[in-house]
Structure 1
Amino acid sequence: MEQVYSYDRTSVWDTQKVSNDAQWEIIRSRSLEDTECIPQRFSDRGKSGGNDDRPALKKLFIEIRSSYIKRKLYVWRYDRIFRETQKALEFVELCHKHNVEIISISEPLPEGSSSLALKTMFVQLLFINASMQRETIIENIRNGLAYKRSNGDYISSAIPFGYQLIEGKIIQNEQEAKAVKRLFELYASDDYGYKRLADKLTEEGYLFNDHPFKVHNIWNILDKSIYYGIVKGGTFGEYKGNFEPIISESEFKKAQAIRESRNVTKVNRREYPLRKKIICPYCGRRLSPTQRWNYSKTKRLHYYHCTKRECPGIYVSATKTENMLLKILKRFVNEDVIYQGIITEIDSQMKQLIKKEKQKDQKNAQSRREIVKQFEDGIITLDEMKDLLSSFDESQSKQPIPIENCRTQLDQLLELRKQSIQQLLLDHVEVVTVQKDKKIDGVFLQGLSENICIKK
């Protein structure tokens, strides 16, 4: 039985476009008619044709590359596979190489188009035509928007608070327009901040979309020039609308002057002693400090967070994490069990290393004796013996001295006990590891390889 595949894709959920299921039904019927087989289906929903990272498309590529036997691939249109001409041509070449015939139901190849050259030319023509159609549509839309702008028509689909859309024209919503006008009047008195102004409007019975005014609603309304008749036209630039403004230009500019006078740059003066010391439990990157504003509690919240975009990300409370670390450091300094446990561990490592050093010295002495014996037996000359001994001694001198490293760690550990908790935190904490539940599971001080968070 002939092996048959199908691929369908939609970039967005839209009832006016040919859905994945509609494409599949068309392909399925055609495949049954041609081959009496139901194709192996590969389907990507809500995926752009310009995006190569599509799960079903990746699986289709693997399937195509897996064999060179004759097969068929049904698609509704070529642009379901790729939007870009070059990528579509590369896909056609791959299918031709692996003996896979592409059948586009809406764009059938002319009779006798079996060669790769003819397929390539046909696909190029299809994509050139599609590109011209897209450019024409975009140009027509832009021309239409430019015409609306020249007439002063509102060209956005988002209707601001205070207005409503009726038969393609925006007119004032009487109740909402009163709220906007009152908002600017109260703010112009210079007696109200955003929070107090929101409370005042609610107290007077004004609502924002059937809800009490919030601080961000006040900010958004004060920021919009549309209320005095000027539309921000995006790439077309600002223009005067043909609708009735709610306030005057002078009222708007007075509000902006008050906002400017109250605009104080907020500087984060908090110290972050664990900056670049906490390791992200997901990707291993060191966390950076950040702050957020909690409107419900009207205060800043401080965090350490992962800045890597591909990472699932983690936010740990700066205050909670620092307090947790202080407790660990206090226990480390004050509890002899932990402290002595680390010293015992380092001491044990030193004893093992001394034993290994003795064994190594015995082995080196044996190697030197073997070199000398080769000279005595006449196997090597005197100069060769000197060179071999010199090379051997040089190689041994380059070896690290782990015992000295352990002694240094022990000296540093004894010195650390004299430091204050705060000084340990600021100067000596090198790495802090946290679990995905944000609990600290590792604390490593400078010069020490032992995790002081582990209870001995």
Structure 2
Amino acid sequence: MRKARATAPPASPALRCAIYTRKSTEEGLDQDFNTLDAQREAAEAFIRSQRGEGWEVLPERYDDGGFSGGNMDRPALQRLLVDIEAGRVNAVVVYKVDRLSRSLLDFSRIMEVLDQHRVAFVSVTQQFNTATSMGRLVLHILLSFAQFEREMIAERTRDKMSAARRKGKWVGGKPFLGYDIDPRGGRLLVNEDEAHQVRAIFDLYLREQSLVATAVELNRRGWRTKAWTTKRGRVNEGTPFNKVNLHGLLSNVAYTGQVSHKGTIYPGEQPAIVDPAVWRKTQEVLRHNGRTGGRSVRNKHGALLKELLRCNPCDSAMIHSYTVREGKHYRYYVCLKAQKRGWSSCPTKAVPAAEVERFVVDRIRAIGTDPAVVGKTLAAARAEHAEAVRRIEADRQVEEGALRRLNTDLRRLMDSGGE
């Protein structure tokens, strides 16, 4: 009688594992072996230990360096969710739970996606099984502590920065014209060439008393805002001056050797490069022009087409303005680009406001009498409203589902007597 031939047990189906890594800051990411690499190495080692169960690492990297875990606005996380929904992932492996999220609500939403697509979730350093009620309860407790830790860190950081500002220290941010950041950190150093430009800008504005005219002259000279290089070597070029960045420069109290924090002025550690009397005079002119509009008077009479008109040649917004001649107000819509960068920057200067508004109103009245247009408009409005309701209902169901699961886990734990 022939002996039966032994057969090998069937191989376990492949479990495609996506490794997700995250670090809140960019510090140290330029190193040859950084914390993201360390997280991935630990996850790969864990997956290798499960090779007999069919686990395998996907080659795609999902690394979010310099992104907070307090929200879901992370490019690698969004790519991971897309791949999960496309069926390309069977398990998500992280070093710690808080690498995926520090927010209970966000984590519940992510777990909802994983559950819908039957994707497992594994934390290398925190062993639990999300298939059991106890495992899910432990997971929620871990996330609660992670969220609490994030909020405490944020609170301590705010307190530390507030204390540093009150002491006049530089607490970071983008450098501004006239100063360089000390490579050792914590303070500003005077850039003499730029400081000369800053003083000239204040003098020019006090002479012109117009942000637009001053910006036009600065750009004619070829002057630009601050150019600087980040710690990671990324170069930020200076940009042409306009009303917004010029107003920010002229309003910066740091040029007088002081710092501002929550409306209070404190002595700063950086040397002053603008005479305080000149700075105060500049603020008076800025405030006066803010009330009267300076040479480009702000609209005090309403603008029917405010934020609706666009300049045809350059596609900039058309803003409302007016002039006074012989006691009469004449309203116009003015190209924003031309107003900010000078009238030579765009062929469109200004158009009479009353004529444009009359034309638009007449057209709207004509459209409003067309039954087909009215019907389509109402249908579109109803569809938009229905979609908004659908999104709100979906969010509500996600949150209620997470709450129900947590309550169920708590009841089971209490019924089992903590076993």
Q: Give 2:258's match in structure 1, choosing from 214, 226, 230.
A: 230
Residue identity over aligned pairs, in percent, reads: 17
Q: Give 2:72's match in structure 1, choosing from 51, 56, 62.
A: 51
1:90–1:174: structure 2 CA closer, same or farther, 3 Å change rule? closer
Give runs of aligned pairs for residues 158-307 of structure 1, distance below 5 A: 158-166=174-182, 167=184, 168-189=186-207, 191=208, 193-197=210-214, 209=226, 214-216=241-243, 218-233=246-261, 238-263=265-290, 264=293, 265-267=297-299, 291=319, 292-295=335-338, 296=341, 298=343
Partners of 1:10 and 1:301 lie apart in 2 by 49
Secondary structure of residue in 2 paired with 1:232 = strand
- Match of 2:97? 78
> Is 1:16 equivalent to 2:43 in the alignment?
no
Q: Which amino acid aligns with 1:294?
A: K
> Is 1:138 equivalent to 2:138 in the alignment?
no
With structure 1 as the length reference, what TM-score do the two structures score?
0.50
1:92–1:122: structure 2 CA closer, same or farther, 3 Å change rule? farther
Q: Give 1:126's match in structure 2, choosing from 142, 165, 175.
A: 142
Q: Give 1:430's match in structure 2, choosing from 367, 372, 383.
A: 367
Task: Please state how far the C-alpha of 1:135 moved relative to its aligned partner.
Answer: 3.6
- Match of 2:48? 32
Q: Which amino acid aligns with 1:158?
A: K
Secondary structure of residue in 1 paired with 2:121 = strand
Partners of 2:160 and 2:364 lie apart in 1 by 65
Q: Tell me if structure 1 keeps the 8 A contact 2:104–2:147.
A: no
Q: Tell me if structure 1 keeps the 8 A contact 2:121–2:130.
A: no
Partners of 1:290 and 1:200 lie apart in 2 by 23
Deviations 1:179-210 (A, max 9, x none): 22233234334x45345545666888977558
1:180–1:297: structure 2 CA closer, same or farther, 3 Å change rule? closer
Partners of 1:35 and 1:108 lie apart in 2 by 18
1:93–1:266: structure 2 CA closer, same or farther, 3 Å change rule? closer
What stretches of structure 1 of length at least 5 have no aligned partner?
A: 277-288, 303-318, 323-421, 432-444, 450-456
Larger Rg computed on CA atoms:
1
- Match of 1:6? 17
Q: Tell me if structure 1 keeps the 8 A contact 2:48–2:56.
A: yes
> Is 1:117 equivalent to 2:144 in the alignment?
no
Secondary structure of residue in 1 paired with 2:80 = helix
Secondary structure of residue in 2 paired with 1:294 = helix
Secondary structure of residue in 2 paired with 1:160 = coil
Q: Which amino acid aligns with 1:78?
A: V
Partners of 2:178 and 2:277 lie apart in 1 by 19
Q: Which amino acid aligns with 1:221?
A: L
1:102–1:159: structure 2 CA closer, same or farther, 3 Å change rule? closer
Task: Please state how far the C-alpha of 1:160 moved relative to its aligned partner.
Answer: 1.9
Partners of 1:22 and 1:80 lie apart in 2 by 13
> Is 1:102 equivalent to 2:121 in the alignment?
yes
Q: Which amino acid aligns with 1:133?
A: E
What is the aligned residue count? 298
Q: Which amino acid aligns with 2:96?
A: R
Partners of 1:269 and 1:107 lie apart in 2 by 61
1:173–1:121: structure 2 CA closer, same or farther, 3 Å change rule? same
Q: Tell me if structure 1 keeps the 8 A contact 2:253–2:259.
A: yes
Deviations 1:146-167 (A, max 9, x none): 3322322122322221122234
Give runs of aligned pairs for residues 303-318 of structure 1, distance below 5 A: none
1:271–1:11: structure 2 CA closer, same or farther, 3 Å change rule? same
Deviations 1:350-373 (A, max 9, x none): xxxxxxxxxxxxxxxxxxxxxxxx
Secondary structure of residue in 2 paired with 1:262 = helix
- Match of 1:156? 172
Q: Which amino acid aligns with 2:298?
A: K
- Bigger drift between 245-254 and 15-24 goes to 15-24
Deviations 1:372-405 (A, max 9, x none): xxxxxxxxxxxxxxxxxxxxxxxxxxxxxxxxxx
Deviations 1:324-366 (A, max 9, x none): xxxxxxxxxxxxxxxxxxxxxxxxxxxxxxxxxxxxxxxxxxx
- Match of 1:371? none
Task: Please state how far the C-alpha of 1:119 moved relative to its aligned partner.
Answer: 0.8
Give runs of aligned pairs for residues 385-424 of structure 1, distance below 5 A: none
Task: Please state how far the C-alpha of 1:242 moved relative to its aligned partner.
Answer: 2.9
Q: Tell me if structure 2 keeps the 8 A contact 1:42–1:60.
A: no
Secondary structure of residue in 2 paired with 1:179 = helix
